[in-house]
Amino acid sequence: MKHKLGYLALPLLMAAAFTTQARADGETIAVFTKNQTNPFFQTVRVGADNMAKVLNAKTLQYIPTKPDSIPEQLSQIEDVVVKKPSAIVFTPVDYKAMVPGVEKINEAKIPVVNITDRSAGGKFLSFVGADDYSLGLETARFLLKTLGGKGNIVIIEGVKGSLTNVDRVRGFNDALKENAGAKLLASQPGNYQRLQALQVMENLMQSNSQIDGVLAANDAMAVGAIEALDGANRKAQVIGINGTKEAIDAIKSGKLLASGDYNGFAQGCLGTMMAIRSLRGQPVISEIVLKPTVITKDNYQPFDVPLEQRTCPTFEDAGKLGGK
Amino acid sequence: MTDITKEAMMPPRSFLSQDAIQVFYRLLAALLICAVLAVLSDSFLSLGNILNVLRQASLTFFIASGLTLVVLTAGLDLSVGANVALSACIAGTVIHKTGSPALGILAGLACGGIVGLLNGVMVTALRIPSFIATYGMLWVLNGLTYWYMAGETLHGFPAGFRQIGSGYLFGLPIPVYLLLVFLGIGTLFAQRTIWGQEIYAIGANPVAARLSGIPVARRLLLVYSVSGTMAGLASIIFLSRLNSAEADIGESLTLPAIAAVLIGGTSLFGGVGTVFGTFIGALILTLVLNGMNLLSVSANWQPLVTGIIVILAVWLDMKTRHRAQ
């Protein structure tokens, strides 16, 4: 009898193990990003897809058709709550205004990971993001080191009042304070737009005959400023933030001094990884704030790889990259 | 047709008409702003800065010049900025794929023109109010552009092509020459050709225009196509000046273009205004932003001041026109 039971139990146990395995695969992860226009979020989405593929899960991308639209993301949340994905990886289009949306997800008991912009409220499994303040601080420090700690500097800001801009510019300013020889000539907005940054730079060059360094709050504005400098046959060291492909190309050709890596790819990978691990009952890291990397002509190579060919960090790497 | 109705329908557009007086006021306003800025900032009156202002105003002007014709017919084209974005992305792709700037320029102009033509078809054949038709088109274009670019940017174009937007000829930026050419063509077209006169007539009174035998639908198709083609031209300048195309440039271009038309004295009710006025409008907008940059005025004031100027310009316009009548 005992033997018979044993024979019966073994295949049963094995079947049970297989079904657990089967149930653990094929989850659907809804990935929310802010817009379809900023290359940064494209890197986030590719990272999320990449990780989902490695772990045998699926992603569903939710992107507002109107960039950063609060009402649109809210209605996408309403749709998704009805559709019930296994988990959500979430970037709020506005860190304060989307809190009611996050609460809706919480009420529906769908596990959710917060990436990129830290939500002002709601319950999350985990947060994965970069630190805008240290990105600003480290890139500005690198620029000032290159200039020998002195020189005339201008800041081209992003959208006034946006979380990323406030922190990046605070980092820029703190690095300037560390260098008594550096003089801030102006801090004007380019609203993260290339054309606006170019025109602001053209105008600033008129009233300032010597500009040695430009701190731009994103790469598009940095490249806009470089176009303005080129047009006027003037030279200055320029830094940007985000580590876009365009910025890497500009670093290679020596036009851009450096860019701070915002690491969208890793954010997408790790956010998705945490969501899936939690669904499979594996431990997760509750907070990963990626350490800033200043991409320069000496270390750009790993960033000069097409997105599709990059590989996601492993769980072991995640801790080293900035887990808490 | 009696002389009186003819007079009411087609006011004479000589250079000393009421429009010329309006343009004169605006020129005066622009000069006043210049005088104030010259006192406040040493660098304002430098040759470099004046060329800057003209070059920066030119992009807004190209978009706004075609738009002026649309507004003259009492219509509106809200899709111009989105059209610039799509046309720039298409022109950029064609240059990358074929290596030929000429083909890229043609593609950009064609894309802009076709979008304009479609706007015209919606307004004339389907009789959708232009405000709604072009607003719908704005979404269609954004959708197409976002899908097509998928968050990427196109960048790096041949040096020869870059000359169009960034180059100089005899010390003047090339966009400034284009500005003068299109200012001349636009003014001559609107003031001195039968078609131009018919466009004013349609805006002043579309029913009377139709009854007097003006082919209203054909003229409207022309006007929307011109607006679209000018957006296509602006996309080429944009691409060449910035060395890159990205999907999200539209929104930042539409409102300044509409503002330039309104500050320039073209009435949203149609039939009144000039292309030259629009040029002054683009100039005033650029001067204000340039001045605030030179004086390091905080960023938050820039849109606020622009808004006040638009409101003031329209209000003054209604005041002075009322008195003239």
Q: Determine whether the interchain pair A223/B166 forms a contact, defined as Cβ–Cβ distance below 8 Å.
A: no
- The whole-number pLDDT of residue A253 equals 94
The phi-psi region of residue A305 (left if phi > 0; otherwise alpha if psi is between -120 and 50; otherwise beta) is beta
Instruction: Note whether A174 and A74 are same-domain residues.
Output: no
A18-32, A199-213, B113-127, B153-167: range with lowest mean pLDDT:
A18-32
Give the model confidence (pLDDT) of B257-269 as tens digits.
999 999 998 988 8
Instruction: Note whether A240 and A156 are same-domain residues.
Output: yes
Candidate from B152, B156, B293 with C-beta closest to A188 = B293
- The whole-number pLDDT of residue B301 equals 79
Residue that is last in its domain, among A243, A261, A279 = A261
Instruction: Note whether A126 and A148 are same-domain residues.
Output: no
Q: Determine whether the interchain pair B241/A202 forms a contact, defined as Cβ–Cβ distance below 8 Å.
A: no
Q: Which residues of A touch B45 (CB under 8 A)?
A: none
Query: What's the gap in Å between the CA of A249 and the closest CA on chain B?
Result: 9
- The whole-number pLDDT of residue B15 equals 47
Q: Give the pLDDT band of residue B250 (cuts 50, 70, 90).
A: confident
- The whole-number pLDDT of residue B8 equals 47
Query: What's the gap in Å between the CA of A35 and the closest CA on chain B?
Result: 8
Q: Determine whether the interchain pair B252/A230 forms a contact, defined as Cβ–Cβ distance below 8 Å.
A: no
Q: Determine whether the interchain pair B139/A65 forms a contact, defined as Cβ–Cβ distance below 8 Å.
A: yes
User: Does the residue A193 lie in any domain?
Assistant: yes
A163 vs B39, higher pLDDT: B39
Q: Taking 90 as the threshold, does the pLDDT of residue B180 lie above it?
A: yes
Question: Hey, of A35, A187, A206, which one would you mutate to test binding to chain B, going by the most B CBs within 10 A of its CB?
Answer: A206
User: Does the residue A45 lie in any domain?
Assistant: yes
Q: Determine whether the interchain pair A227/B243 forms a contact, defined as Cβ–Cβ distance below 8 Å.
A: yes
The domain total for chain A is 2
Contacts 24+ apart (CB under 8 A), A317-321: A318/A270, A318/A273, A318/A285, A318/A288, A319/A285, A321/A266, A321/A270, A321/A288, A321/A290, A321/A291
- The whole-number pLDDT of residue B299 equals 66
- The whole-number pLDDT of residue A229 equals 95
Instruction: Note whether A126 and A272 are same-domain residues.
Output: yes
User: Does the residue A322 lie in any domain?
Assistant: no
In sequence order, the 6+-apart residues with CB closer than 8 A to the CB of A159 are A165, A189, A191, A192
Instruction: Note whether A143 and A255 are same-domain residues.
Output: yes
Distance CA B259, CA B295 (A): 23
Locate the chain A residue with the closest alpha carbon to B59. Answer: A195
Candidate from B52, B248, B300 with C-beta closest to A202 = B52
A70: containing domain: 28-130+263-290
Helix (H, G, I), strand (E, B) or coil at B323: helix
- The whole-number pLDDT of residue B298 equals 72
In sequence order, the 6+-apart residues with CB closer than 8 A to the CB of A192 are A158, A159, A165, A217, A218, A220, A221
Mean pLDDT of B181-187: 96
Distance CA B268, CA B273 (A): 9
User: Does the residue A226 lie in any domain?
Assistant: yes
Instruction: Note whether A116 and A193 are same-domain residues.
Output: no
Q: Which residues of A touch B48 (CB under 8 A)?
A: 205-206, 232
- The whole-number pLDDT of residue A24 equals 57
Instruction: Note whether A268 and A123 are same-domain residues.
Output: yes
User: Does the residue A299 lie in any domain?
Assistant: no
Give the model confidence (pLDDT) of B51-85 as tens digits.
989 999 999 999 999 999 999 999 999 999 999 99
- The whole-number pLDDT of residue A17 equals 46
Which parts of chain A register pLDDT below 70? 1-24, 323-324
B118 vs B2, higher pLDDT: B118
B318 vs A92, higher pLDDT: A92
Contact A198, A216 (CB under 8 A): no
pTM for the model stands at 0.79
- The whole-number pLDDT of residue B323 equals 55
pLDDT over 70, % of chain B: 92
Query: What's the gap in Å between the CA of A290 and the closest CA on chain B?
Result: 23
Instruction: Note whether A109 and A149 are same-domain residues.
Output: no
Instruction: Note whether A119 and A223 are same-domain residues.
Output: no
CATH number at residue A270: 3.40.50.2300
User: Does the residue A319 lie in any domain?
Assistant: no
Instruction: Note whether A125 and A274 are same-domain residues.
Output: yes
User: Does the residue A79 lie in any domain?
Assistant: yes
CB of A183 within 8 Å of a chain B CB? The answer is no
How many CB pairs lie under 8 A apart between chains A and B?
104
Locate the chain A residue with the closest alpha carbon to B49. Answer: A206
Residue pointed to by tokens 């607003």: B135
Q: How far is CA A174 from CA A170, A178, A189, A240, in A?
A: 6, 7, 18, 17
Instruction: Note whether A46 and A96 are same-domain residues.
Output: yes
User: Does the residue A4 lie in any domain?
Assistant: no
Candidate from A41, A231, A246 with C-beta closest to B153 = A246
Candidate from B56, B244, B296 with C-beta closest to A223 = B244
Q: Taking 90 as the threshold, does the pLDDT of residue B10 lie above it?
A: no
Helix (H, G, I), strand (E, B) or coil at B157: coil
Q: Which residues of B touch A36 (CB under 8 A)?
A: 146-147, 150-151, 247
Domains of chain B by start residue, with CATH: 42-318 (1.10.3470)
Instruction: Note whether A201 and A257 are same-domain residues.
Output: yes
Q: Determine whether the interchain pair B252/A195 forms a contact, defined as Cβ–Cβ distance below 8 Å.
A: yes
Instruction: Please give the radius of gyration of chain A, using alpha carbons only, rounded to the nearest integer.
Output: 23
| Strand A258-261 versus strand A293-295 pairing type | antiparallel
- The whole-number pLDDT of residue A323 equals 61
